[in-house]
Amino acid sequence: MRRLFGTDGVRGLANGELLTPELALALAASAARVLAERDRSHRPVAVVGRDPRASGEMLEAAVVAGLASAGADAVRVGVLPTPAVAHLVDALGADLGVMISASHNAMPDNGIKLFAAGGHKLPDALELAVEQGLDRPSARPTGSAIGRVRDEPDAGARYITHLLANTPQPLAGLRVVVDCAHGAASTVAPECYARAGAEVVAMAAEPDGLNINDGVGSTHLEPLRAAVRAHGADLGVAHDGDADRCLAVDADGRTVDGDQLMAVLAVAMQEAGELVDDTLVATVMSNLGLHLAMRERGINLRCTQVGDRYVLEELRAGGFALGGEQSGHVVLPAVATTGDGLLTALRVMARMAQTGKSLADLAGIVTVLPQVLENVAVTDREAVASSAAVRDAVAAAQARLGDTGRVLLRPSGTELLVRVMVEAPTLDEARSTADELAAVVAAAS
């Protein structure tokens, strides 16, 4: 059987070939059975949340039916961010969390992400057990053994209370524009930032089930730039569809990416004595500018493979306090078990309020080098990436750039592609070096 779970759950075209109501029901039922087999002391309880895309209503109904049919109780929390579902799994003492969302993907897509007890990502072994249980015949509970379904009307309020309790500084004096992507944060983000003390201008906060991520959100920053300038705001915050990440723009509309947000938080946490072992965890895709800025401030930068699950694994293995990705997926393990875009934004704004500095000043500790990424189609990604011709070309390019640039070449984990990333002092140099390496990769295919 093919692996259904990618690095971020099961995702695909909703009601298409893969992500059907039948699959959602079967996945939920299998997850409930797997949990029941591991602990027979009580009936499993699962928290179920979703983003506002139209197909989420259909998939939520299927997931809830699957859970109840396998003897698990389902607690529906409605439309909430992914990190809210993770938090509520822990806060409500549940055994499982199910988030129905395709994050930043376009509206026709959807996805199913599972959380284990405590709100942690489901371990690989449990994911495999859930998949293997899809086609396994099992007895169906009847009578009182069938799972029950209830709603948790205070779910959003509980999540906001959690966020406010972990915001170290009132945000009075700050004006922020928040782009909610017509997504899961459309209600909770504006309310939370306002209650923290900021003056809030909300945009793209009217989801209708069809407009999620449609020209707005963290992958479309132009509307946010315009709004920040129009309202004279101190900053803008952009969430994706499920609000597990955020990007920002400063008062002049310049992008502040995940690398820069992590740098702002790392310095703040180092000053407060909260940055465990003076270490920040990021992926190999983080800009060289972040490496240089952290080195200058005595902060170690540990790099993982691309993917938030690898960042989470490194954070947990080392007991570190901060990690994330250039995409704006930032994790603070002492407060959250997964990336939380609202928590990230609150912490960054608190730093602005504490220091009296603008976001541009705070983020300016990172000089972002021009970065060019090219994807080259190949027939055998591993063989091409490890070929002598490609290795020699990469080594020559890196030697030419020296300490002023960086070359990263890696096979895609999911497609027949080799990804070529080059950072250099100028965009022209980065582009010409990437083109040169891409030609070598293509010739080696």
Q: Radius of gyration (Cα) for the chain, nearest Å?
A: 22
Rounded to an integer, what distance in angstroms lies between the CA atom of residue 194 and that of residue 163?
12
Residue 103 annotated as catalytic: yes
User: In one letter, which amino acid is 199?
Assistant: E
Phi (first) and psi of residue 377, to 5 degrees: -70, 135
CA–CA separation, 321 and 334 (whole Å): 7
3-state secondary structure the chain: CCCCCEECEEEEEECCCCECHHHHHHHHHHHHHHHHHHCCCCCCEEEEEECCCCHHHHHHHHHHHHHHHCCCEEEEEEECCHHHHHHHHHHCCCCEEEEECCCCCCCCEEEEEEEEHHHCECCHHHHHHHHHCCCCCCCCCCHHHCCCEEECCCHHHHHHHHHHHCCCCCCCCCEEEEECCCCCCCCHHHHHHHHCCCEEEEECCCCCCCCCCCCCCCCCCHHHHHHHHHHCCCEEEEECCCCCCEEEEECCCCEECHHHHHHHHHHHHHHCCCCHHHEEEEECCCCHHHHHHHHHCCCEEEEECCCHHHHHHHHHHHCCCCEECCCCCEECCCCCCCCCHHHHHHHHHHHHHHHCCCHHHHHCCCCCCCEEEEEEECCCHHHHHCCHHHHHHHHHHHHHHHHHCEEEEEECCCCCEEEEEEECCCHHHHHHHHHHHHHHHHHHC
Marked catalytic residue, from 55, 103, 186, 327: 103
| Residues belonging to the active site | 103
